[in-house]
Structure formats: structure tokens, C-alpha cells
Structure 1
Amino acid sequence: MKIRPILGLTLASFVLAAGANAQKMPVVQQPTFKKDTFNIVRYGAVADGITLNTKSINDAITACNKKGGGVVLVPEGLWITGPVEMKSNVNLHVKNGAILQFTNDLSQYKIVEGNWEGQPNARNQSPISGKNLQNIAITGKGIVDGWGDAWRMVKKDKLTGSQWKQLTESGGITSDDGKTWYPSQSSMNGSKTKDAGVLANGKTIKDFEDIKDYLRPNLLVLESCRKVLLEGVTFQNSPAWCLHPLMCEDLTVRDVYAKNPWYAQNGDGIDVESCNRVLLENSTFDVGDDGICVKSGRNESGRKRGMPTQNMIVRNCIVYHAHGGFVIGSEMSGGAKNIYVNNCSFIGTDIGLRFKTTRGRGGIVENINVSNISMKDIMGEAILFDMYYEAKDPVPLAGEVRNAPAVELFPVTEATPQFKDFNIRNVVCNGASKAIFVRGLPEMHIQNILLKDISIVAKKGIQIEEATNIKMQNVHLSIAATDALVSIQNSKEISFDKLSNVKPTEVVFSVTGSGCGDIQYANSTLPYNKQFAAFNAGATEKSLIKK
């Protein structure tokens, strides 16, 4: 079986969207394989849904590698297995009709030194893993299932009454407050352990054996690999993140389906972390956390690694349930740059375009270009930039109260994150809680953001805090809010050209704070009921200018 050898990525469509900022991207190289086929049945694998085939599958992979590479075939059938370890020059081909089912016997997964949310961490071995490999692939139309239900804790508020009853009667442990179910005592003990799994201050993997079940693995982790292809396969039911390429180069993800229950804790679709030269296309995500996510390490360890995710194209993808459709952060301490997202659809996600970070991360996210995005039924914000990220679901659960963070000025250090130079065009969203939300830090504004040719139907309009040089051109809204259409706080060089709203709001502009200035609007249709502009907390009429 031979995979297409080289994929040259031209950026004609992105040049039009991103203007002069677009640069020609490097070529993403793809793997090639010998035609030799190694059927796992020849190595003793049995598709009876009972036999543990760990040794047989790994023996086939080892034999393929030793003979110069080729295809390891997983034929039709239900194949139970423990952890599978990839090797160079191997294409693990999961045929249509095949289910590669990872066992729910957690003792089969040893604790290893891994990485979790951007930091060195003790984790259970991933169902599929590989490190320092070249020329590898997982292909086919089959299914890879991580049996995540055996690992995951579940929040009561995310299930119906009958689902919760069925879950608690199946075994496991319920938390003292009755709000969370854990599959084992070891798992619940881990939830009460500070810095569970963190390999710091002399801690080793042996120090976490008593909370082993809590250290859920990602379904697939490929670390420091080159020329990687994931194509055609359904990856589902992951214990934690589904797909986690880490510090890889020349990564192609094509026609995959990442699928998790919507209540899956940390059930991300794909987290591309500190990777260079990436193509993600024609794929579908329906998961319990962020859908398509870009990361680059967390806090000091991420800054020390110093490897941004860069030179990445995402195109022709669909995201259904997820905390965010396309996401950068919050672990982005190594930075992210030269990323192009085009022609994607987000349907029913909590947030559409989600860019998140917090103090302590550091890192620079820049030259991010997004175009031709269609969204429907977004639970929260259609477009969000937030530098006050908290590790909470983006949409509060029923009865949950969240207060806005206190605005304080901190010194700028290497731990201060930056968001700048975003170009977002041609976005349509029918249904959102809020259209656009931009919230920077007093000491580090979000800056140089262009939003052009945007159409959004939402309950609330635009909110901008602690930002500089935000340009909105040809933004059409249908907002039903009774408060302000546009709220601006301590921000400057904010411009609106051809801003319109279908319905009148109580106030068009609410301008707050003495830090506001050079807010301009022109060529706009802005109906209102009571007043055009309100100025508060030191803001003056001079800060708002009609051009």
C-alpha cells in the first residue's frame, strides 16, 4: 500500500483571506510505505471479542519495522487489545469493519513518564503511542475505541436522572457531595490529590501508584515524530484527549472522525501541541471538550521547551458538540503562529472560535488567519478572545454563578501572555449567546485584530475590554439584547466601519473607563431606543468619534 508521497500546500485561498500577512507555507511531507503486509492474524490475533491481542499486534508491528516497514493489517472483526506501540515505517491499517477495542482492564496500562496539559506528568500508558519515530501512519475506515468509560469521572449535572441512576448502579464511587461519579476509589483519591501526577520536586512515577486510575491516558500520543499520517479512521471513546500529536513535524490528519460522549471530561478531539508543518483537513469532531485545539506547553515548562505550534492549515472540517470549534490555548506558553483556518463549520459547539489564555502562561500567539466559517446554535460566544481563562466549562451549568474577575494591573514578565495579529474574515453565525467577546489584560492588551465581513445572530452584541487596535469592517448583527449593542472598557484605537444591527437596542455604545480613546465608527446603521452612547467611570464623549 502506497501513500501519496508529497503534498505541496498552496495558499491561494488563504492569500485572498489574509492579505499581505499571508506567506507561502512550507511543504508538509507525507510518509511512504513498502507494499509488504503483515496481517495480525499471522501473529496469533483472534477476533473473538475475548482474547487479549496485545502481544500479537505488537509482534506484527515489530516484525514490520525490522523488515524495513510496510502495512500492519487489522482485518474485519472485534479485536481486544492492551497498549499498542508504533514503530518507524509502519502503517497500522484498520480495515473497514474492524474495531480495535482497547481493554477496560486498567492493569494492562503501566504508569509512564508522559505529558498532561503541557507539563511533565505521570500518566497511564496511552492505548496507542510512539516516540522519536519517522514515517508512520494509522489509516483505514475502521474504528479505534479507547473504552474511556472505564476511566472517566462523570458530573451528575451532565446526565439525565435515569442516566445518572444507571451509572451509579453500575459500580464505582460517588463523591461526598453526590455530584461526581468515579469509576474507582483510586480515581476519586486522585481527584483529591494536589498536583496529581505532576513530575516535579523530585516526584517519580512510583509516587502516584496509589492514584493510578486517576491518571487517564490520551487515546493516541505521538511524541517527537516526523512524517505522520492519520487518515480515514474513527477514533472514539478516549479516556482523556482523543488525538495528541506532541512536538511532531510534517503531520497530516485527513478524513478522521474523533468522537466522544458530550459529557466526557477532558474529552478533546485533537490537541496539536508544539508541532511544525501541519495539515488537518476534511475531518469531523463530536466530543466532550475542545474540538480542534492548538497548544504549546504550560507555564514555565512550556516556555522552557520554547516550541510553538506553527505553519498549520486547518480546512474543510466540521465540529459538532465541543467546548470550542477551533481553539488556541489555554496551554500556549511556547506560542503559536502562522496558522490558517478555512472553510469550517461549527454546529452546536459551546463557543465557535475560542482563543484563551491566562496570566502565568507567557507565550505569543500571532499571525492567526481565519476565513469562511459557518456556525449554528452556538451556546456561548461566536468569537471569543479571553486572557482570564479558568479551567471551567465555557457555559455555566444550571444554577452555577460566575463572577467577573477583578481587574488588576500586574507587571509585565515572561509569564505575561500575548494575543496579536489576528485576521478573521467571512464568518456567519446563526444563533449565539454573545456575538463577539474580547478581554485582554490591563498590562497586556489584545491587539491588532481585524474582523471583516461578519454576520451574527445572537442574544447579546459586542464586548471589548483592555484591547488596542481592533478593527471591525462590514459587521452585521441581529441582536435582541435590551442593553448596549457594543460595550467597550479601557480600550483604544477601536474602529467600526459598516457596523449594523437589525433591531434597536437600548444603547448603541457603552464606553467605560478613562483608558478609552480613539473609538471610531463610520458608514453604520445603528438603531436605538433610549440613547446612542453612554459614558461611565471616566470615559468622555471625546473618546467616541463619528468619521
Structure 2
Amino acid sequence: MKYITAFAAAVLLTCPISVSHADEAAVGWHSVDDIVARIGSTHFPDKDFNATDFGARGDGQTDSQEAINNAIEACHEAGGGRVVVPAGEYRVDGPVRLKSNVNLHLAAECTLRFSTRPSDYLPVVFTRFEGTELMNYSPPIYAFEETNIGLTGSGVIDAQADFDNWWKWKGAWSGTPANALKDGDPDQSNAIDQVRAQADEGVPAEQRVYGEGSMLRSSFVQPYRCKDVLIEGITVKNSPMWCLHPVLSENVIVRGVTVDSHGPNNDGCNPESCRYVLIEGCTFDTGDDCIAIKSGRNTDGRRLNRPSEFYVIRNCKMRDGHGGVVLGSEMSGGVRNIFVEDCEMDSPHLERAIRLKSNSNRGGYLENLFVRNVQVGEVSDAVLRVNLYYAHETGEHPPVVRNIFVENLSSQKSRYAFYFRGLEEHPIASITIRNCTFAGADKPSVIEHVKQLTMENVTFPLE
């Protein structure tokens, strides 16, 4: 009874009032079918190009990077089709560049093992690092301003990152095995400070040149300014940093993908400043957030002003990670109209289920998040977490957070049911929780500076 009393007191401090029905009328679950239909799908000519015909060898020894790229170029020049990489283990010493109208298809028992030598990913390309545009190492799989591209099949892509190569550039990290990364070792921090200062000063992105010596890791798979993107069926392992990272792209499908990557900042899927995204039937087991929706960081995010919007996430499984479905923290361009349904989240090493993170240095907005039919077994922190003091940063750009709707969610074990911390002068505007059960919470929920909180048929069973 002590738990119920403490929780009730915390809720009463917020003076909750009901959210008007008008907040749900303009966009809501009725919008999902239209969003998915708008995304559509890719279409590739019925022509196959076998990478081995261009010199690729699945012997684990021969560098097949040039052969795979030559097959992609030939397919592209012929009007498109499918580049097939047969079963085998392929050494790939540098980036694979996807082209319009080409589906790179990895057959069963095919593994692409990418080089861990940073110099193999030069010259630099136009990319983003944690929400800031720059010229940096190429991602191992990269596309720039292409249309109708695919990365499919049941094969594996493995960047072979570990604490002896890419991951050591992170610096000291809370998830590190003992003595793997240490304070004082050379790391990415100086380059991060420099590129963010350049963004604040208005230096054009093309003049922010990093790469060799910078220790800024690349994402693994990055379609940049692309349209009609399909990533389906593959398994992703050991990424340098963010695993699947579509940026400024439209009509993106990530389906049936397995991500198993436990390094620092190894988020599973980070669609950033994209429109119309479908993520379904995927499994995420990661060293950071399973799915984290981004839209640029601070000055650069506000400069581009491109929100992430119209996302549907469904039928996914989340295992280890910092959060199951996350909005932020690089969200200065805004995040809105996000739908999450029919997902399972369960691991003692999954910290939160639904997480929104921002601060008054980011600006932007997080709005119109709809969650339903989510089963949470165990998380180590909060089932629902909204924290506007993320990373203890402050500034003059308080974010707007409003219209969060959660229904038919059940959880079995957590530290908190809710952890909501708004800003005193800019509180979280509205949260509605319906028909949910939060069992096995160890501590009373934290609810600070929430202007409108509505709970309908919400229960907190005691053991």
C-alpha cells in the first residue's frame, strides 16, 4: 500500500487535466493505413547480376569490394535489377556504394566482412555525425541522392568493429568491459567539439572536413538524401557506430532485419530527418537504443529544419539496449506523427521501453507519439520515460513535448512505471495513458512539470 500511496501523491502534484479529443482528431491511429500506403515499395527490373562474375570471391581472403561495386555499377547502367552475392565469406576492404534501381541481395550463408582500417573508407563523403553534417569517413554501405535502392536477403553484414579498432575512438564508455576503454586515451571528443563549433559559426558543411585523424566513427548503412529505400531480411553485426542510418530520405522500409551489435552508440536503427518510414518485423539487440528517431542536432538541426515524420513501427522485438523506441536526443528539427504498435520489449539489459530525451539546448519538438499493444517483460529503468534534462545540457531552445498517447501496454518488471521530467517554465504539455498495466515497479514514479496527464483504466498490481 505504501507504493500506491506514494505514486498517487506524485500524480496529484501535477494537477492532471484531460487532454481534449481535438488533440487526437487531426492525426491518430486512423492515419496508419494512409501512411503505409504512401510509403509504397521499391521495384527492380527482373535481371540478376552475380557478383562472382565480376570477380567477387567468397573465400574469406580475396578483397571483393571492387568486384561488388563493379557489379552494382553494371546493374545500374543496364537500367537496374538485382546484384546477387552468393553464399560465402567475402572480404570487403572499403565502402560498397549503392546506386539507383539496384537491389544488393545477400544470399543465405553469405557474409560481407568489412575492413576495420579507417583509411579504407577514404576519401571522405558527405555525411552526418550525431546530427551534424560534415565530410567524414564513408559508411561501409553508403548511398547518396539515389532513388529506388535495396539491401536485401538473408545474409550478414559484419563491420567487425570491436574495442581494438573503431570502438576505442568513443573514449571511456559506461558499457565497456573492464579496461577496454580508458579515460585519457585519444578519442573523438576534440573533433566533436570542433565540428559542433563550426556548425554554430555557420561554416558550410562541405568545409567541415574530418576523416583521417579525427576519430569520428561512421554509421554502418547510410542512405543519404535517397528516395524509395528497402532494407530487408539481413543481419547486421558489430557496427562502428549507428547501425542503420537513413538520413534526409523519403519512403524507407526496414523489414525483417536482425541487429546484433553491442558496441558504444550501436543504435539499431536511426532514421534521421526522414519522411514516411516503416520499420516492421525486426529484432534489435544493441549496445544503445534499439530504434532512435533523430532530426539533427542544435544549430545544424535548426538550420536544415527537416523533421522526422510519419513513421510506423510495428511487430518488432527489442532485447538489450538503452531504449526500445526512442525519440531524440538529436531532434532539433522536430519529430512528429510516430506510431508504435504490437512490439515486444524484454531484457534485464533493456533500460527503458518508450523513451523521449531532449533538453533546452536542442529546441525542436516531440509531438504526436502513439503507442499501443506493447508487451514489456522486464526493463531495468522506466517503462515510459520523458526527460527534458538529458545530458545535463541547458540553453535557450526549450523543446516542445506534447500529445503522447499510450494504450494497451503491459509491463511485468521495472524500476519505475513512469519517469516524466519536464522543464519548470516549459512543462511537458500532454500525456494520455489508457488501458495499461504496470506490474512489478520497484519505486514510485517520478512526475515533474507535466501540464496535462490523463490516466484511464491504468493499474499497478502489487506482488
TM-score range, shorter chain: 0.7 to 0.9
Q: Which residue of 2 aligns with 1:279?
A: 278
Instruction: Find the counterpart in structure 2 of residue 43 from structure 1.
Output: 54
Q: Which 4+ stretches in 1 moved above 3 angstroms?
A: 18-21, 154-161, 173-176, 189-194, 196-210
How far does residue 461 in structure 1 lie from its aligned partner after superposition? Answer: 2.3
- Report the Cα offset of residue 275 of structure 1: 1.0
The match for 2:145 among 132, 135, 139 is 132
Counterpart for residue 259 of structure 1: 260
Q: CA deviation at 1:309?
A: 1.1
> Match of 2:193, SS?
coil
1:431 to 410, 413, 418: 413
Residue 12 of structure 2: aligned partner: none
Give the partner amino acid of 1:277.
Y
Note the C-alpha offset of 1:205. Answer: 6.6
- 1:175 CA drift (Å): 4.2
Matching residue of 2:437: 455
Q: 1:190 to 1:306 in 2, by over 3 A?
A: closer
In structure 2, which of residues 210, 213, 219 is the aligned counterpart of residue 211 of structure 1?
213
**Judging changes above 3 Å, is the alpha-carbon distance between structure 1 residues 32 and 208 closer, same or farther for their aligned structure 2 residues?**
closer
CA drift of 1:94 comes to 0.5
> C-alpha deviations, 1:332-364, integer Å up to 9, x for none?
111111111001111121111101111121112
> Does the aligned pair in 2 maintain the 1:249–1:275 contact within 8 Å?
yes
Query: d(CA) in 2 for partners of 1:194 and 1:32?
Result: 39
Give the counterpart letter for 1:351 in structure 2.
R
1:160, distance to aligned residue in structure 2 (A) = 5.3
Question: In structure 2, the residue corresponding to 1:301 is in which secondary structure?
Answer: helix
Q: TM-score, normalised by structure 2?
A: 0.86
* Residues 380 and 415 in structure 2, CA contact (< 8 A), matched pair in contact too: yes
Give CA-to-partner distance per residue, 1:373-428, whole Å, 9 cap, x none: 1112211111001111018xxxxxxxxxxxxx9xx9x8xx6x22111011101111
Structure 1 contact 197–205 (Cα < 8 Å) conserved: no
Q: CA deviation at 1:113?
A: 3.3
- What is the aligned partner in structure 1 of residue 373 from structure 2? 372
1:83 counterpart residue number: 95
Which residues in structure 2 correspond to 1:19-38 (within 5 Å)? 21-22=27-28, 23-24=30-31, 25-26=34-35, 27-38=38-49
C-alpha distance in 2, partners of 1:242/1:471? 36
Correspondence 1:516-531 to 2 at 5 A: none
| Partner Cα distance (1:175, 1:384) in 2 | 29
Q: What aligned pairs does 1:380-399 form with structure 2 within 5 A after superposition?
A: 380-390=381-391
Tell me how far apart the structure 1 counterparts of residues 327 and 174 of structure 2 sit (CA, whole Å). Answer: 27
* Cα distance between partner residues in 2 of 1:342 and 1:367: 14
Equivalent position SS for 1:195: helix
Q: Please show how residues 194-273 of structure 1 align to structure 2 within 5 Å.
A: 195-198=193-196, 199-200=198-199, 201=201, 202=203, 208=210, 211-212=213-214, 214-261=215-262, 264-273=263-272
Q: What is the match of residue 109 of structure 1?
A: 121
1:313 alignment counterpart = 312
- Quick one: which amino acid aligns to residue 417 of structure 2? A
CA contact (8 A) 2:359 2:389 kept: yes
Q: Distance in 1 between matches of 2:177 and 2:116?
A: 24
Structure (1/2) with the larger strand percentage: 1
Q: Which has the higher contact order (CA 8 A, sep 6+)?
A: 2
Which residue of the partner structure matches residue 76 of structure 2?
65
**Amino acid aligned to 1:384:** R
Q: TM-score w.r.t. structure 1 length? A: 0.73
Q: d(CA) in 2 for partners of 1:128 and 1:245?
A: 11
* Residue of 87, 90, 105 corresponding to 1:93: 105
**Is residue 420 of structure 1 aligned with residue 402 of structure 2?**
yes
Q: Deviation of residue 311 (structure 1)?
A: 1.2
Equivalent residue of 1:87, what SS? Answer: coil
The answer on whether the counterparts of 2:172 and 2:182 sit within 8 Å (CA) in structure 1 is: no
Distance 1:80 1:294 in 2: 32
- Call closer, same or farther: CA 1:46–1:32 in 2, change over 3 Å: same
Q: What SS does the corresponding residue of 1:452 show, helix, strand or coil? A: strand
Give the conservation status (yes or no) of the 8 Å contact 1:112–1:205: no
| SS of residue matched to 2:329 | coil
Of 113, 121, 142, the match for 2:155:
142
Rounded Cα–Cα distance in structure 1 between residues aligned with 2:114 and 2:323 = 27
Contact 2:134–2:210 under 8 Å retained in 1: no
Sort the Cα spacing of 1:250 and 1:438 in 2 relative to 1 into closer, same or farther, 3 A.
Answer: same
Deviations 1:170-218 (A, max 9, x none): xxx8544xxxxx6xxxxx1533556154454558778645624x11110
Q: Is the 8 A contact 1:385 1:439 kept in 2?
A: yes
% identical equivalent positions: 33
